[in-house]
């Protein structure tokens, strides 16, 4: 691939910024300064910026701790709502990132953002049953019988939900975790409504085999490590 594309992907910058780095001699390929943006490189070359080795990844995978009040969308056509993308630096906005699945505006927690359309599609496809765990607080206590009801599924708009595993908190009976293997619209809130309660707080804490990084404050994000990407896509 062209050196400017490699730099723009590896450094998450625009092609024109990449060109500037190359033309001002900041980039070396296998130890030699290369000033031509169209110079061809492969993943076998060692490419450095100011002497530091760069790592190439075709796609970007981000874990965000979504805060309340932002929508899980790439843009808001009416320009009223703040989107999760607006929490990323500007140089990320031209990289084709989108949220893999949605959380409601008032739901917080683990959200994956990526520009890997194929993998995101697979992760979200009902065929693949990727579990998502939510921590939920309600305005009323859960009852033991709610566990069985969630497991058997409830009818929402004429459709039976897939089994949902409810675990009630030992001390605070109005709190618990719920594991979903599908993503119907407002599914947790509607299941809880069906059980006669209103959700007062909802946080996603796992997505497949990934758990929310508790070091990430609300509204903060980080790249997934290569290991985490492997776990996510497995």
In the residue annotation, 104 being an active-site residue is answered as yes
Q: Does 186 bind ligand URA (CB under 6 A)?
A: yes
Q: Which of 60, 52, 109, 116 is nearest to 84 (CA)?
A: 109
Residues paired with 156 in a beta bridge: 159
Which of residues 9, 19, 116, 187 is near ligand URA by CB under 6 A?
A: 187
> Among the candidate windows 27-35, 116-124, 182-190, 211-219, which touches ligand URA by CB under 6 A?
182-190
Question: Positive or negative CA dihedral for 5, 9, 10, 15?
Answer: positive
Q: Which of the residues 81 through 140 are near ligand URA (CB under 6 A)? A: 103-104, 107
Q: Does 202 bind ligand URA (CB under 6 A)?
A: yes
Which of residues 60, 71, 123, 188 is near ligand URA by CB under 6 A?
A: 188
Tokens at 90, concatenated: 């500007």
Q: Radius of gyration over alpha carbons of the chain, in Å?
A: 22
Q: Does 189 bind ligand URA (CB under 6 A)?
A: yes
For the window 21-50, what string marks contact with ligand URA as x by the rule CB under 6 A? ------------------------------
Measured from the CB atom, the residue of 107 and 206 that comes closer to ligand URA is: 107
Cα 87 to Cα 16, 72, 80, 107, distances in angstroms: 23, 11, 15, 16
Strand segments, DSSP code E, in 37-107 are: 47-49, 52-53, 61-66, 70-71, 82-83, 98-99
- Which residues are at the interface with ligand URA (CB under 6 A)? 103-104, 107, 186-189, 202
């Amino acid at each position: 691939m062209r050196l400017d594309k490699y730099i723009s992907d590896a450094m998450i910058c625009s092609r024109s910024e990449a060109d500037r780095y190359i033309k001002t001699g900041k980039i070396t390929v296998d130890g030699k300064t290369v000033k031509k943006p169209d110079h061809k490189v492969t993943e076998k070359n060692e490419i450095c910026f100011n002497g530091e080795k760069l790592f190439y990844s075709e796609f970007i995978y981000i874990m965000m701790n979504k805060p309340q009040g932002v929508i899980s969308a790439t843009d808001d056509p009416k320009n009223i709502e703040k989107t999760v993308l607006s929490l990323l630096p500007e140089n990320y906005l031209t990289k084709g990132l989108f949220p893999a699945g949605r959380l409601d505006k008032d739901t917080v927690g683990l959200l994956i953002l990526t520009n890997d359309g194929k993998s995101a599609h697979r992760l979200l496809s009902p065929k693949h049953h990727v579990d998502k765990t939510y921590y939920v607080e309600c305005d009323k206590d859960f009852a033991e019988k709610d566990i069985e009801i969630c497991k058997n599924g409830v009818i929402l708009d004429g459709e039976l939900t897939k089994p949902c595993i409810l675990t009630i908190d030992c001390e605070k009976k109005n709190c618990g975790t719920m594991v979903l293997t599908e993503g119907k619209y407002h599914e947790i809130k509607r299941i809880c409504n069906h059980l006669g309660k209103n959700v007062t707080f909802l946080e996603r804490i796992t997505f497949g085999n990934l758990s929310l990084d508790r070091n990430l404050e609300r509204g903060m994000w980080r790249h997934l490590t290569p290991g985490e990407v492997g776990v996510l896509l497995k």
